[in-house]
Amino acid sequence: MATATALLAGLEGVGRDSSGGYTRLAWDGPTLELREWFAAEAIRRGLELVEDGNGNQLAWWGSGTDALLVGSHLDSVRGGGAFDGPLGVVSALAAIDALRAEGFAPSRPVAVANFSDEEGARFGVACLGSRLATGVLAPQHALGLRDDDGTTLAEAMAAQGRDPGAAGPSAWLERVGAFVELHVEQGRWLADGDAAVGVASAIWPHGRYRLDLSGQGNHAGTTAMADRHDPMLTYAAAVMAAAAAAQEADQRATFGRVLVQPGNTNAIPAQVTAWLDARADSEVALERLVERILADTRAAAAVNGTSADLTAESVSPAVAFDAVLRDRLAGLLEAPVLPTGAGHDAGILAGHVPTAMLFVRNPTGISHSPLEYAEDADVEAGAVALARVIRELA
């Protein structure tokens, strides 16, 4: 029997990067090591380990249908924190250990999931494993996604001995009756409200959009400012427009990734490609937000003599978690109910089975950063809460 904090401490060395945080990308070294770790933890507990054609790992306690699924993911963004993902996996394993130690015998199967590529940090689409398993994303589209080195998902899977032809809807989904994902909170809602654990109400709709800005590469020293077609100027205008539009309406718009061609210090760029992450409290509001950012960017493009095209790479609708399950868990745990702007595998599963999320307090409120944090006591409180949920539901 292991505590959640002890299990988490065992992962400290895997994928640590120069940021002081973690870089655990799908089908890459540290994440492969974590998959082996998950398999070993499942086998050690006598859980039946099944990997589907999308790389999702499920460890089964009991067999049959109408299972209660718990768990989360083990991958991270580049330079991410230690909790986003792993906390939900270790808490599920620790909860099972605690329930078994008490002699609890579930009346329905319980399975622990490690979903593949939740962050989308390598291939650009978040929740890749759960989207494929639920049929939300077509495998032919997913398998052709490329990472920054040009490697496709199909190639990355094949390089690890997986058959890309097996990607797609997973049989286990038919066996699952409910899903509960525990996750570190990615804001200060619980910290400000002085609660260790909360229950999610909804996930904001969320889109990732690629902004392609084409201009005219030229010499930085000999080209007069008036003669330029500099896409970097249009990019700067897009960044400003996104921040202004989101701030005004209490929504979110972020440019966290930008590529410049050719990327010489002494050359006006020919091309700037950037990614806009936008979220709002309704789908209509999200559409309006993105339209306004694009309109402002196009106005700047006209002035700068560049093009500006926006392509939606993924748009996730609003997710309202199952109200009955949410209220039952909030009552059971006497926990507050809070919304989130972050996407999760639970948001994908919610379209198919009754789904709930538990959040664990993060005193920094910071996530996707080495400063993401949870106190040991709160980690344990989360695992205890998850054990209570399993006892209640299974």
Q: What is the CA radius of gyration of the chain?
A: 22
Angstrom distance (rounded) from CA 204 to CA 293: 18
Q: Which is nearer to a copy of itself, 121 or 358 (CB)?
A: 121
Q: Please report how close the Cβ of residue 391 comes to a copy of itself at its closest, in angstroms.
A: 30
Which one, 77 or 330, has the nearer CB to a copy of itself?
77
Least distance CB 322 / a copy of itself (angstroms): 21
Phi, psi (deg, nearest 5) at residue 313: -90, -35
Considering the complex, state which of residue 169 and residue 365 has its C-beta at the smaller distance from a copy of itself: 365
- The two structure tokens encoding residue 61: 């306690």
Nearest to 369 by CA among 10, 115, 76: 76
Structure tokens at 135: 């049929």
CB of 34 to a copy of itself, least distance (A): 19
What's the closest the beta carbon of residue 321 comes to a copy of itself, in angstroms? 16
* Token digits of residue 366: 């910071």
CB neighbourhood size of 269 (10 A): 25
Tokens of 393: 């539901």
Per the CB < 8 A criterion, the answer to whether 394 and 106 are in contact is: yes
Q: Which two tokens stand for residue 134?
A: 């639920």
Minimum CB separation of residue 278 from a copy of itself in Å reads 9
Nearer to a copy of itself, 3 or 151 (CB): 151
Decide whether 57 or 297 has the Cβ nearer to a copy of itself.
297
CB of 269 to a copy of itself, least distance (A): 5
Looking at the Cβ atoms of 3 and 216, the one nearer to a copy of itself is: 216
Burial state string for 272-296 with b = 16 or more CB within 10 A and e = fewer than 16: bbbbbbbbbbeeebbeebbebbbeb
Give the shortest CB-265-to-a copy of itself separation in angstroms.
4
Q: Which of 166, 169, 153 is nearest to 53 (CA)?
A: 166
The span from the CA of 385 to the CA of 394, in Å, is: 14
Instruction: Between 251 and 355, name the residue whose CB sits nearer to a copy of itself.
Output: 251
